[in-house]
Amino acid sequence: MVQPSLHFSQAEYRQRLAQARRLLVERGLDALLLFAPESHYYLTGFDTNGYVFFQCVVLTAGDDVITLLTRRPDVEQARRTSIIEDMRVWYDAEGANPAHDLKAILAEKGLQGGHLGIELATYGLTAANYIRVKDALDGWCQLVDASDLVRSLRVIKSPAELAYVRRAAALADEALTVMRATARPGTFEGDIMAAGQGAIFRGGGDMPASGPVLGSGDRALLVRNSTGSRYLDAQDQLTIEFAAVYRRYHACLMQTLPIGEDQPQQRRMYDVTREALHAMTEAATPGRPLGVIDEAHRQVYDAAGFGHARMAACGYALGATYRPNWMDVPPMLYAGNAMEARPGMVLFMHAILVDAPANLAMSLGHTVVITDMGREVLTRHPLDYYVCRG
């Protein structure tokens, strides 16, 4: 029998499953149809990109076996990365409808007429596949959106998870160090990117679930990844936002670097941005609403006259995520968010200014974990005002 390679103990997986089943009972749900790859990984260890097709894990409120419905290429993936033992296969064919295979599994488990939760807020379930499921189960059982059920468990990291986050944060520090050392007038953006990613991979890290963002010149004002690379000018600016990843757990850093010579206006933008990030970090306290973090962000920028250039939110939760997104949301950090900060939450806080008329950018960001007494900044790199000179 194949022994799977697991990143957490069997006891931790059992505890996670017990917590999920307890929530199912509390909500009056007989089972949960898990389509989010993050849920698969969290509850069972199942690690694959096969979620781009139709892939579902069935978890009942009782103690019967977990069942995975997937394609043939992911059977060995499940056997060798997860605690799942019951794997069912649907086969590609003209007119194939895996929702019917799923219905047969649910019938086996005696779930006809039951109340079933389903994860809808996930890239693992396309609208087309949801329609298939809905049509197949219409009148047969009741489907209830339960996208938040496993997510509510995942947002608080266990000590074992935090160990992976800390390793990711250390890799992020190493990557930023080499990227800052590589960035000079005349440097090719691709070489800067390669230096950072190389440090992460050499440290045993993984590919990020999105990004990274790295852009100079006009593209330093962008906060999304875009295609194309260029050589840095003698006088330039470079925005870097990236995640280092370890065992799928992400830790992010962000910084805008002046290239060549200091610019007084950009230095002022840095001073205010540093103040905003400090205020945001201090506002992250257990028991307080997450919205106060963004309120602190807005207050500093607006008082300094940069309200027109700031973002409408200032960060989000991080965790073990899959493409296309490293943002493990909700929660987002926006004004009015009433969710309380709780120990074990991992948050990426970013303070960003985009002054389009002046064609100047400035940003700083780091990863923190909420603790019993306050918060701890996990990434240790000094986000100082660093000019990359020739």
Closest to 388 (Cα-Cα) out of 252, 240, 200, 242: 240
pLDDT in tens, 314-339: 999 999 999 999 999 999 999 999 99
Residues 259 and 134 in one domain: no
1 lies in some domain: no
Residue 282 predicted with pLDDT over 70: yes
* Gap between the Cα atoms of 165 and 379, Å rounded: 10
Which of 115-119, 366-370, 378-382 comes out lowest in average pLDDT? 378-382
Structural domain that includes position 266: 159-377
Q: 244 and 169 in contact (C-beta within 8 Å)?
A: yes
Mean pLDDT, rounded, for 202-222: 96
Among 154, 188, 213, residue at a domain's last position: 154
Q: What is the pTM assigned to this prediction?
A: 0.96
Among 94, 126, 154, residue at a domain's last position: 154
Among 126, 154, 182, residue at a domain's last position: 154
Q: Identify the pLDDT of residue 281.
A: 98
* Gap between the Cα atoms of 15 and 21, Å rounded: 10
Hey, how many other C-beta atoms are within 10 angstroms of the C-beta on 145? 11
Residues 317 and 231 in one domain: yes
Residues 373 and 237 in one domain: yes
Mean pLDDT, rounded, for 80-93: 97
Residue 2 predicted with pLDDT over 80: no
* Beta-bridge partner residues of 243: 252
**Band of residue 216 on the pLDDT scale cut at 50, 70, 90:** very high
Residues 239 and 297 in one domain: yes
Residues 266 and 349 in one domain: yes
* Gap between the Cα atoms of 11 and 44, Å rounded: 11
Hey, how many other C-beta atoms are within 10 angstroms of the C-beta on 121? 15
* Gap between the Cα atoms of 71 and 87, Å rounded: 10
Q: What mean pLDDT is reported for the chain?
A: 97
Mean pLDDT, rounded, for 198-213: 97
DSSP output for 8-29:
S-HHHHHHHHHHHHHHHHHTT-
Report how many helices (DSSP H) and strands (DSSP E) the chain contains, helices first: 10, 13
Q: Identify the pLDDT of residue 372.
A: 97
**Band of residue 159 on the pLDDT scale cut at 50, 70, 90:** very high
Residue 5 predicted with pLDDT over 80: yes
Q: Identify the pLDDT of residue 1.
A: 67
- Looking at the chain, the whole-number percentage of residues with pLDDT higher than 70 is 100
Residues 70 and 190 in one domain: no
Residues 46 and 164 in one domain: no
